[in-house]
Amino acid sequence: MAADLFLDQVTVRLGGRLVLDSVSALLPGATLCCLLGPNGAGKTTLLRSLTGYVPLASGTVRLGPTGLDTLSSRERARRIALVPQLAPPVGPLTVLEAVALGLLPRGA
């Protein structure tokens, strides 16, 4: 069973600038969700903070009962994948192949 993703008061600062301010959400596991907002609203920053590419200034993110900040980089890569919208082309790929690119960091 897929674990729920919990965001609690997530705040991110980049270069001293407040980018995300106290974002909280519950994303049920094994469901499709959509992150919508205008350009510059912080959508990409939020996703990057979930993968550890961008550190949190404050707040917590949990995958089920596990805080993502307690996971090693390797374990985080095994549990979370981010495939950018504008990934560099690597040849003609099916949708399944493109999504499966997210598995590469864990060597699966």
Sorting pLDDT into bands at 50, 70 and 90, what band is 2?
confident
- Predicted TM-score (pTM) of this structure: 0.75
Who contacts 59 (Cβ-Cβ below 8 Å, separation ≥6)? 7, 8, 9, 10, 11, 22, 23
Q: Is the pLDDT of residue 31 over 50?
A: yes
Who contacts 40 (Cβ-Cβ below 8 Å, separation ≥6)? none
What is the C-alpha separation between 26 and 4, in angstroms, rounded? 7
Q: How many domains does the chain have?
A: 1
What is the C-alpha separation between 56 and 28, in angstroms, rounded? 21
For 72, the domain range is 5-106
Sorting pLDDT into bands at 50, 70 and 90, what band is 46?
very high
Sorting pLDDT into bands at 50, 70 and 90, what band is 108?
very low
pLDDT digits (tens, 9 = 90+) for 15-26: 999 999 999 999
CA atoms within 13 A on the CB side of 98: 13
Question: 28: domain CATH number?
Answer: 3.40.50.300
Q: Is the pLDDT of residue 107 over 50?
A: no
